[in-house]
Amino acid sequence: MATSFQQQALYRKLIYLGIIVGLFSLSLLHKRLVIEPEALRLQLREQARGEVELTGSVVRLSLMGSRGFAACILWHMALEHQKKHQWSEFEILVRSVTKLQPHFVSPWLFQSWNLAFNVAVECDRPRDKFFYVSRGLELLAEGERRNQGTLDDSLLPDTQALRFPGNPEMRYNLGFFYQLKIAHSDEANAMKCLFDMSCIDPINRDPDQLWSADARGKKVVDLPRFKEFCRRHPRLVRRLYEKLRCRSPKQVVNFLSDNKEVPSRFAQPDPVKAAQRIPTDLRPRRERFPILPPRVLPRMPDPDTREFSEDFDVMSAAQAWYLYAMEPLPPPSPDPGLVEPEFDPIRHRLPKMAVHIFRTYPARAQAYMGEHRQKEGWFDDEGWVIPGWFKDLGERVAVGFESKYQSGPAWHKAYEMYVDYGKETRIYLTQEQRQAMEREAELFRTTYKISPLELPTGLKPEQFQGAMRRSCAAHFRLYWNNYYRTSVAYDDYLGQADAERRPEVLRVRKMFHQAADLRAQAADAQVLRVYEEALPQWVDILLKYPAYRRIFDLQQETYETQLSYLRVLQDQKATILRPLHLGLAQMSPVGSGFLPPPVYLPPLVLDKKVKFPIQVKAGNRDEERIEDRDVLDEADIRRIIPIRKVRGPLEFIYLFETPGREQLQLYLLGLTQGAINPPLLFADYLRDWMLVTRIDRDRAPHQGPWQPLLPDQAISAVRQQLNLDR
Amino acid sequence: MLFAALVIERETLKWADLPLALMSWVQDAGVIATLGLLLVGLSRLLNRQSLFGQHGNALHQLAGICGCVAVGCLAVFLVLLQLQGTIRVATEDPRVFQYLFTTHQHLFLTIGGTAALVGVSVPVVVALLTTIRWRRIHAIALLSVKEALRGRVVWVFALMALVYLFSDWFVTYRERDQVRAYMGVIYWATAVLMLVTSALLGSFSIPNDVVRQTIHTVVTKPVERYEIVLGRFLGYGFLLTVGLVVLSALSLVYVSRGVTPAAAEESYKGRVPIFGDRLTFHGTGKETVGENVGREWTYRSYIRGKSPQALHAPRQYGIWTFNTLPANLKTRKDPIPFEFTLDIYRTTKGEEDQGVFCVLIFARGSLSVPEVERQLELFKQEQMRKQGVIEDRYSKPRQQARTQEEKDQIEEKIQKEYQDLEERLASQFGVYQVAGVQVSDYVTQSLTVPAGVIKDLIEYAETAQPRHADGTPAPVLKVLITIGDDIASRQQLVGMARRDLYLLSAELPFWQNYAKWVVGIWCNSMLVLGIAVACSTYLSGIISLLCAVFFYLAGFIVEFIKALAEGRLEGGGPFEAATRMYSRLPLAAPLEPSPLTSLLQQLDAVYRYWLGLVLKIVPEMDRFNLTEYVSSGFDIPLGEVLFLDNILPLLGYLLPWGVLAFYTINSREVANPT
């Protein structure tokens, strides 16, 4: 029998126990019913920030308060390893640092940039560069996943709940790394080949499958299989042939062999399955390279697609990331310059760069796709005829006819994307819309004496009523429209995409590409013919598309093309030009300018031998002896450009540039051609050639509203770049 | 990381350097011993005792005499230092000068050091020979092992299982880096585990005995106190050794599982290289260094291609000099492999997916660069002439050959004759050239030289015994590298260090190399255990642990301390650095000359002097890390690296600590623990 003290103690303990159990149960209920829904609503849980990584969390918690200290030490050690080119150790440390502070965006950006740029540039072979670019991208993609926000809707209590936005900067940088380090790098051709190989199932690019033995047991390329490979991957094969000097099937297969272990979307092939040609499994999504964002828009590539077709290239990957980067942005302003865009700091994130520039990247990536296809020679449905490799099979093999290889559709899509961008951001105005707004703004401008390019201070549409209010708003809209269009070079890009998608442009571009190819093959006679056929058509195009011809890069490109043409012309017509101009030069009083300067200068006549001192041993002492040695070998001499200062035909073309030029052209066309029977006034080219003249720019450089087709700035930029003004 | 290029920034000790190293050790340890004897002497004088100890105690008298000699020599040394100064020698770093003692200074410092060491170590040696019994030490060692086992210390090693299980989650690598990445993980995991265990075991054993008074049960037995110290050290040492062996065996399985072919090719082996004795440069303006491309890490020097704009400038060469080559190379029939890994620094893009084309020349060691160039000219002329003869000889059979097989046979014969011709000419002119070698950086590349060429070079060195103008024997072989003249290559620079090119003598299995690597870790943990046990003879457990950790960590930044002590660091010493921080001056900006600046720099000089002394007792822990050898696939040389650079420094470092422990344990008041 327990004493009363013992009974009291027992009761007391039972009461305590009851209270503990009660409070504990209450706290559990409170957590489940109040705290968790609230945390979900406010997006306070770590899952809301992005993917959660258990090991990183364990390390962070085990470090207690010394996480910052550990991160600093690791950072310092990583940079020391980088200094000593110890990349393996460097990468391990970099990954450790980022694990310690996964929601601090800057280290992800800095160290991934470090890997993809600074480390990659220290490597010499493209395959090594490619590896570290891929590592940088993987690191940044990992960081993006940690900070991608709430992608899984099942975590949210309702559709109206807060949604933690992703980080546009990281997503954009992923795309930008692809663009800079693969698509536009110094070794872009090799890098793009490696990128293509990353996307091909290893059993489909297995070099061992492409070898066979000939009658004497010698290892040779299995041509039927190789032909199939060429059919499946024409862009890769053509790039290897034309850009990387793989002039035989053997060299192509050797390239595949050398780069067999390229970072890939596919797992290491199982030899047994590979022998039976069973497709290789994809790696887990996070380990695939090229790494792609989740498919949040239908126009983005599906990362789970087994094998992409060749219309998926590096710019497609970049574009996917650019599109994904648009997700956390606020919607654009419905009336730019007049209405502030909606911005909710909880739902939206802004990039560091100006948002209106940021939004152009997907369209820009699309334009690059078209540009790259053109540079690689893919224009139309004629494909590429593989030169000479399959003559043993008695076949003429051509590949790449499908529209996915053509640049026209890519440019067309780019045009559509630019139009969509313009419409979405309200900077796209049709000619009619613009004219209507100009008319409407006229009242405000004349009343307050404000020029179209001026933003009035102290005046706002809200201050006015009726017609003046509408006029003031129209002026503001036009001003901001002009500002945004100029800052993203909208007219240039739209004009370029619009022109490049046209069949006539593609036709001439193809001719230029053929000419370059023929020049590389030293088939100069044909080159001249192609240039002479293409250049007039090119001028027609430039006259027809005003926005196109005003693009500075295009003007430079046109001038470079003209230089190439002149070079070929001089080489081809040397037998006529040389005596003619030598004679002219002899007849011409030196420096008088009486006769035109010689268009052709022969290759420099160099005294190829120079006196060269060398050290020789004479007995026990060194002696200096002078020897004649070659300054330049034959290849060097061939490289010396004979053109120094010579004008080409395109430089003489001047246009009468004035507002309302098109109307004036139509008027003049009607005036001059209307009387002809049958009338020719509906021929487009006739209208385009109106208000065009020929002026010798060296004698009369300034001609008022007459502007040269090729401005001086473009010419001098090219000449400086090619070092022609020495 | 550059593979199959051994990057060792610190030159290891060589057998030829051993006497100097021993002298240096005697001087350093001797100065510390002299300070100890001086302190004992002073305390005796202050306590009005005889300087030579108790009358009739020969050991005390010997210590007294040695102490007097040591102090005297040290005093003479200081006087000489004051009178003669030191010899200032310029180094490659223009900011740094080496200060060397004169012969007389060395002499007195060595005599004094030896006397001091004799003075302090003779009592220890006598005790070891007379009173100390290895049987008792064995018993205490056994007891230590049992205590550690009962304390479940061995379970600490089970932590390694975490590394085996989960390290792959964190460690990413490319295929050829696999062994390197694994070795890195294993080294750090094993080293940390071993060091923590050894520091904890060593630091707390004796203090715990004292605190728990269990030591009374031992010291009341006929046991010498120093036997306890040795017993503890050897017992724990044994336990740690067994633990290390087990861990290493398991780790070897971890490293070796599924080694990829690329990794196996790169580093899953133990290359036995023969490195050149020195690397010099020709045409770069300075013989010892090449061009500087502005990299922060100046381990490699660069050569540039022959520029058409600078025709009068000499062609640049990197030259590896091999003073000797093993005689067994003469008997080799197969081609001799040379491997190299060079760094490329590009000034232009060059040709896409193409390396830099270089020319390698293997020449007699006695030839200078102009002579090599001239011999090569003659070689080529003769080669062209004789190749013409061969071509003429085979022109008719070529025409007569009907089948492809016959044509191939003829071509093979011609190629064979070309090769023979090349070897003959190499022997005649003493040079052999391999042109058009495409160099790619971060890649181990290999080329072979006909065995006959190397044989001729060795035989020429043996028979002709060529000598330099100063009478020193000329080296056997010079390997010269220069950049090719093609337009893309000649615009680039190629970087190299002494160990970047080597003659591959043999290849040993990976496990042998790995076993030697384990010895490095063992030395590491024995060193920490030794410091911890020695400290624990006088200090409490936690303080001993802190001491061991301090020495261990200081050992890792010894290079930084050395740079600070030698005044090589940007920004100066602590006083100057504090001034810069206060006045927000950047590191490169010079301080304004003023009395205050001068004072601060003097204070820094004093600080650096004391730091230089402290540096003597900080161990260089980095030397025990042999991971670089194993992960790069290079054999760890048993003699020069394992013995001279690991085991000998370990003994040299632990011996003074052992002597110190002898005196501290004997002077400790065991009955009154604090």
| Closest residue in chain B to residue A263, using alpha carbons only | B174
Question: Is A701's pLDDT higher than 70?
Answer: no
Q: What is the pLDDT of residue A602?
A: 42
What DSSP designation does A406 have? -
**A475-489, A599-613, B331-345, B372-386: the lowest-pLDDT one:** A599-613
Instruction: Give the residue, B52 or B602, on which the prediction is more confident.
Output: B602
Chain A contact present for B374, CB below 8 A: yes
- Mutation pick from A88, A91, A191, A257 vs chain B, by most beta carbons of B within 10 Å, is A88
Kindly compute the dihedral angle of the four CA atoms of residues A453, A459, A465, A469, in this order, to the nearest 10 degrees. 20
Chain A and chain B share a number of CB contacts under 8 A equal to: 93
pLDDT surpassing 60 at residue B248: yes
- A414 pLDDT band, cuts 50/70/90, is very high
Q: How far is CA B40 from CA B63, B64, B67, B347, in A?
A: 10, 9, 9, 66
Q: Model confidence at B2, in pLDDT bands (50, 70, 90)?
A: very low
B354–chain A nearest CA distance, Å: 7
Q: Mean pLDDT lowest for which of A226-240, A296-310, B228-242, B475-489?
A: A296-310
What whole-number percentage of chain A has pLDDT above 70? 87
> How confident is the model at residue A562, as a pLDDT?
93
A47 touches chain B (CB under 8 A): no
Searching chain A, which residue's CA lies closest to the CA of residue B294? A83
pLDDT band with cut points at 50, 70 and 90 for residue B340: very high
> Residue A583: pLDDT above 70?
no
Residues in chain B closer than 8 A to A132 (CB atoms): none
First to last CA, chain B: 52
Give the residue from A420, A450, A290 showing the smallest Cα distance to A359: A420
Is B106 at the interface with chain A, CB within 8 A? Answer: no
- Is B174's Cβ below 8 Å from some Cβ in A? yes
Per-residue confidence (pLDDT) for residue A442, from 0 to 100: 92
Mutate to test the interface with B, among A124, A142, A243, A639 (most CBs of B within 10 A): A124
In angstroms, the separation between the Cα of residue B198 and the nearest Cα of chain A is 23
When pLDDT is averaged across residues A561-585 and rounded to a whole number, the result is 79
Across A576-615, b (16+ Cβ under 10 Å) vs e yields ebeeebeebeeebeeeeeeeeebbbbeeeeeeeeeeeebe
pLDDT digits (tens, 9 = 90+) for B32-77: 898 888 888 888 888 877 766 666 677 778 888 888 899 899 899 8
Q: Average pLDDT for residues A489-518, to the nearest whole number?
A: 94
Please name the residues between 639 and 658 in chain A that touch chain B, using a CB distance below 8 Å: none
Residues of B in contact with A99 (CB under 8 A): 170
DSSP-based three-state secondary structure for A239: helix
B181: contact with A, CB 8 A cutoff: yes
Residue B442 in contact with partner chain A when CB distance is under 8 A: yes
How crowded is the C-beta side of A188, counted as CA atoms within 13 Å? 14
Write out chain B residues lying below 8 Å of A84, CB-based: 7, 297, 299
How confident is the model over A198-206, as a mean pLDDT?
A: 93
Q: What integer pLDDT is reported at residue B43 of this predicted model?
A: 83
- The minimal CB distance from A88 to the residues B181, B312, B314 is found for B181
Spatial distance between the Cα atoms of A688 and A434, rounded to a whole number of angstroms: 23
Contact between B113 and B26 (Cβ < 8 Å)? yes
Pick from A608, A173, A99, A128: nearest CA to A361: A173
**Contact residues for B473 (Cβ-Cβ < 8 A; gap 6+):** B323, B465, B466, B467
Q: Distance between CA atoms of B558 and B618, rounded to whole angstroms?
A: 7
B308 and A631 within 8 Å at the Cβ level: the answer is yes
Q: What is the pLDDT of residue B274?
A: 94
Average pLDDT over chain B, rounded to an integer: 87
Q: Which of B600, B648, B588 is nearest to B620 (CA)?
A: B648
Contact, A83 vs B297, CB < 8 A? yes
Highest mean pLDDT range out of A275-284, A314-323, B598-607, B640-649? A314-323
The pLDDT, as a whole number, for residue A281 is 92
Question: How is residue B605 written in tokens?
Answer: 């000089």
CA distance B401 to A460: 96
Asked whether the predicted pLDDT for residue A624 surpasses 70, the reply is no
Position B93 confidence tier, pLDDT thresholds 50, 70, 90: low
For residue B265, is pLDDT > 60?
yes
Contact B173 A610 (CB under 8 A): no
With H, G, I as helix, E, B as strand and everything else as coil, classify residue A641. Answer: coil
Residue B345 Cα, gap to closest chain A Cα (Å): 8
- DSSP run (H or E) holding B393: helix B369-400
Q: pLDDT at residue A620 above 80?
A: no
Both tokens of B81, joined, read 């230092």
Judge whether B486 is closer than 8 Å to chain A, CB to CB.
no
Give me the pLDDT at residue A607, please.
44
For the segment A147-160, the average pLDDT, to the nearest whole number, is: 64
- Residue type (1 letter), B405: E
Residues of chain A with Cβ-Cβ distance to B487 below 8 Å are 635-636
Contacts of A631 in chain B (CB under 8 A): 308, 311
- pLDDT tens, position by position, B500-520: 999 999 999 999 999 999 999
Closest to B296 (Cβ–Cβ): which among A83, A89, A190? A83
For A259-307, the pLDDT digits (tens) are 998 999 999 888 888 888 889 999 998 899 999 999 988 889 999 998 8
Q: Between A86, A615, A616, which is nearest B1 by CB? A: A86
Mean pLDDT of B171-200: 87
**What global pTM score does this model have?**
0.81
Tell me the angle at which helices A188-199 and A234-242 cross, rounded to the nearest 10 degrees. Answer: 150
Residue A106 pLDDT exceeds 50: yes
Partner-chain residue, chosen from B352, B370, B443, that has the shortest CB–CB distance to A615: B370
Tens of pLDDT, residues A508-517: 999 999 999 8
Q: Nearest C-alpha of chain B: how many angstroms from A99?
A: 10
Given a cut of 80, is residue A672 above it in pLDDT?
no
B309 interfacial to chain A (CB closer than 8 Å):
no
pLDDT number for residue A587: 60
| pLDDT value, residue A89 | 84
Is residue B399 predicted with pLDDT exceeding 60? yes
Position with higher pLDDT, A522 vs B561? B561
Mean local confidence (pLDDT), B204-219: 84
Q: What pLDDT score does A625 carry?
A: 58
Which pLDDT value is given to residue A236?
94
Higher pLDDT, A247 or A216: A247
- Return the closest-CA partner of residue A269 out of A286, A281, A261, A254: A281
| Strands B336-340 and B445-449, sheet pairing | antiparallel
| Interface check B405 vs A, CB under 8 A | yes
> pLDDT value at position A601?
43
**B379 to chain A, closest Cα gap in Å:** 16
Q: Which residue of B has its CA nearest to A125?
A: B353
Residue A622 with chain B: CB contacts under 8 Å: 370
Nearest CA-CA distance, residue A714 and chain B, Å: 25
Return the amino acid letter for A197: M
Band of pLDDT at residue A611, cut at 50, 70 and 90: low
Q: Do B184 and A123 touch (CB under 8 A)?
A: no
Confidence (pLDDT) at A591: 44
Quote the pLDDT of residue A603.
Answer: 40
Report residue A164 as tokens: 């933690």
Residue of B312, B352, B405 for testing the chain A interface, max A β-carbons within 10 Å: B352
A597-601, A629-633, B191-195: least confidently modelled range: A597-601
pLDDT computed for residue A480 by the predictor: 92
Q: Confirm or reject contact between B171 and chain A (CB < 8 A).
A: yes
Q: Do B311 and A614 touch (CB under 8 A)?
A: no
Q: Is the pLDDT of residue A21 over 80?
A: yes
